[in-house]
Amino acid sequence: MCICRLRSVPLFSRNANDPVMLAHKIAGKVYRNILAMAHARHIDITDDYVRWLLSINVGYLHYGNLHLFNYAAQRLPSAAPMLEIGSYCGLSTNLLTYYKRKNGAKNRLFTCDKWEFEDTADIKTVPDSDISMGELREFAKATYLRNVGMFSRDDLPYTIEAFSDEFFSEWLNESTITDVFGRTVALGGAVSFAYIDGNHSYEFAKRDFENCDRFLERGGFILFDDSSDTGNLGSCRVAREAGSSPRYEVVAKNPNYLLRKL
């Protein structure tokens, strides 16, 4: 079964009177997106390692992204760092580390996430429970640390607890910062690959693209999650616009967009 990231869809609306009913509406939208992506033709390179990882590491990922991770890892233009915007519980992070290792890529991987779920500012607890949203965020972060600490322990990414705008501000300023594993690291410079998997609305996805574009070197890659031509999220529109730019070429759609900077 093909899976797309459900996290990109807002869980609740600030204007909703009934969050449970809204959750049902969102679930229907997510289901339609899954069906659309499931019917999109794609290359699936799932192997035994990936199957084990998928069986235990919670997350949402279209299997077609595996081929795109691998494609980019084989063709990185330099040893410049790789970026991942949005980490959730570490599934895509661990997969990026796996395809780095499989292809002998030594590029450092930087990721960022605030573990704050979209459109939940007015929601105090998980519906029908006494679990606070704060507890849920801390649980997601702890799950990330545990998952990445297991499957990427020989090549830990540098994970910054920040929204993507905050992360890029620190990157631009070449700040020295402490990551979630307690390590001090200097940010800044060119990047060879960026995986945009944060807020999938048009406004945020476009800003993430513009920030990545600022630092992406020629020959570097950008992969947009949830960007299939059959989808209707803002990230789909941003990917199509970026792919039509004379400064980029679409090197693969599987079904998400992988672009290379010219």
pLDDT tens, position by position, 194-245: 999 999 999 999 999 999 999 999 999 999 999 999 999 999 999 999 999 9
Sheet holding 109-112, edge to edge: 158-160, 109-112, 82-85, 191-196, 216-224, 257-261, 248-253
Residue 256, pLDDT score = 98
Phi–psi pair at 122, nearest 5 degrees: -100, 5
List CB contacts of 150: < 8 A, sequence separation 6 or more: none
pLDDT at 95 exceeding the cut of 80 = yes
For the stretch 153-184, pLDDT in tens is 999 999 999 999 999 999 999 999 999 999 99
pLDDT at 137 exceeding the cut of 60 = yes
Q: How confident is the model at residue 119 (pLDDT cuts 50, 70, 90)?
A: low
What is the percent of the chain with per-residue pLDDT over 90, rounded to a whole number? 79
Residue type for position 12: F
Q: How confident is the model at residue 1 (pLDDT cuts 50, 70, 90)?
A: very low
Q: How confident is the model at residue 123 (pLDDT cuts 50, 70, 90)?
A: confident
SS3 state of residue 248: strand
Question: What's the mean pLDDT in 15-39?
Answer: 49
pLDDT at 189 exceeding the cut of 90 = yes
Residue 230, pLDDT score = 94
For residue 7, what are its two tokens?
A: 């996290």
Matching residue, tokens 């999220």: 233
Q: How confident is the model at residue 92 (pLDDT cuts 50, 70, 90)?
A: very high
Residue 116, pLDDT score = 87
Phi–psi pair at 260, nearest 5 degrees: -120, 135
Angle of helix 202-215 versus helix 164-172 axis, rounded to 10: 20
Angle of helix 133-151 versus helix 91-102 axis, rounded to 10: 20
Q: Is 192 left (phi over 0), alpha (psi -120 to 50) or beta?
A: alpha
Question: What's the mean pLDDT in 139-154?
Answer: 97
For the stretch 48-60, pLDDT in tens is 999 999 999 999 8
Q: Does domain 19-261 have CATH number 3.30.1330.100?
A: no
Residue 83, pLDDT score = 98
Residue 41, pLDDT score = 75
Residue 5, pLDDT score = 40
Residue 124, pLDDT score = 86
Residue 10, pLDDT score = 37
* Best CA proximity match to 4, nearest among 109, 119, 91: 91
What is the percent of the chain with per-residue pLDDT over 70, rounded to a whole number? 83
* CA 187 from centre of chain: 19
| DSSP conformational letter for 150 | H
Give me the chain's average pLDDT, please. Answer: 88
Residue 18, pLDDT score = 54
The Cα–Cα gap between 123 and 133 comes to: 7
pLDDT at 8 exceeding the cut of 90 = no
